[in-house]
Amino acid sequence: MALQKTLSLLLLLLLTLLGLGLVQPSYGQFMYQRFLRQHVDFPATGGTNLYCNTMMQRRGMTRPTCKQFNTFIHEDNSTIDAICITPNIRCKNGKMNCHAGVVNVTDCRDTGRTRPPNCSYQGSASTRLVVIACNGNPPLPVHLDR
């Protein structure tokens, strides 16, 4: 009985803290952190095949399979976040929460010649338009659409 009462009080405390905004394991923040891990490398540390092989493995995109394609954006977080306040455009999935901006990138493409976790990538550095899906208030990048 005492254990049940203690658990009930702990649950009530957690719900109160969530309601007050003091504890926020928000899905949007999780997606933003995932976006940063998968797509942001600032300052740029390369743009070569070796760069892609190293970064894809370091960022966890070579297990359980080799990720076929990934783009690393070589801009600071505030520059990338600012893309989210540009006019909305349609995403590939049809939603209207995408935004476009021109940034420095390295595109990494799997060569298909190796197996995980030792995936082999071809790197290509450029300055190009990217389309980013943004969510939240304030809006933050959560998905690299193209």
Active-site positions? 39, 143
CA distances from 63 to 19, 66, 101, 115, 139 (A): 37, 6, 30, 10, 30
- Alpha carbon distance 30, 127 (integer Å): 28
What CA–CA distances, in Å, run from 60 to 39, 54, 116? Answer: 12, 10, 11
CA pair distance 94, 89, nearest whole angstrom = 9
Longest alpha-carbon distance in the chain: 65
Tell me which DSSP letter residue 79 carries: H
- Lateral strand order in the sheet of 69-73: 69-73, 98-110, 121-135, 140-144
